[in-house]
Amino acid sequence: KSIIKEQISFTKDEWDKNSSKLISTIINVLGNKEYLIVRSSSQNEDGFNSANAGKYKSILGVKINERSIINSVNEVINSFGDDVNKNDEVLIQPMLEDVIASGVAFTRTLKNNSPWYVINYSEGDDTTSITSGKNNDHKTFLIKKNLNYCIKEPSWMKNVLDSLKEIEKLLVFDYLDIEF
């Protein structure tokens, strides 16, 4: 039910030591796409005790050429500032097209870890409105786990719930924060 697009990730240290090889890999693996997204994947962004959506840079619509990739990766790494951790990563993926809705789904409530699915989303093709943490004009869907649910609107929500259940089962873990 879930599809995770191909991706390339690396740490700042790996970039500093071998950016040429990484650029070559990015172009070889993702070069058949029109545009990329270069994202932060920092230890300081999201964890069990906090959610810091949008704390660091993500750059959308990056053209697949050496100069654009170098500039975008450096901008994301620089956004870590003094907070940079050796395990912080840059994540590069193809840009999504024809997006119906996007958001963040939690498999437990943040405040007290209650067994509910909490899905913050916005409909339309702006994939940053929720994940950037800058837009509070969104919708929230809340449903208790282990209920037989019948969802009429929005129609795509059942797919998100089925994916969450699938990922929980695969990971044998149900404290998740998943962007979709």
pLDDT at 22: 97
Which pairs with CB-CB distance under 8 Å and at least 24 residues apart come from 26-33?
Answer: 26/64, 26/69, 26/92, 27/64, 27/65, 27/66, 27/69, 30/6, 30/64, 30/92, 30/93, 30/94, 31/64, 33/64, 33/94, 33/95
Q: What is the DSSP letter of 48?
A: S
> Each residue of 31-54: pLDDT tens digit?
888 899 999 886 666 555 555 556
Supply the pLDDT for residue 23.
96
Per-residue pLDDT tens digits for 156-172: 888 899 999 999 999 99
Closest-CA residue to 104 (of 80, 124, 128) = 128
pLDDT of residue 68 exceeding 80 = yes
Read off the pLDDT of each residue in 123-130 and give the average, rounded to a whole number: 74
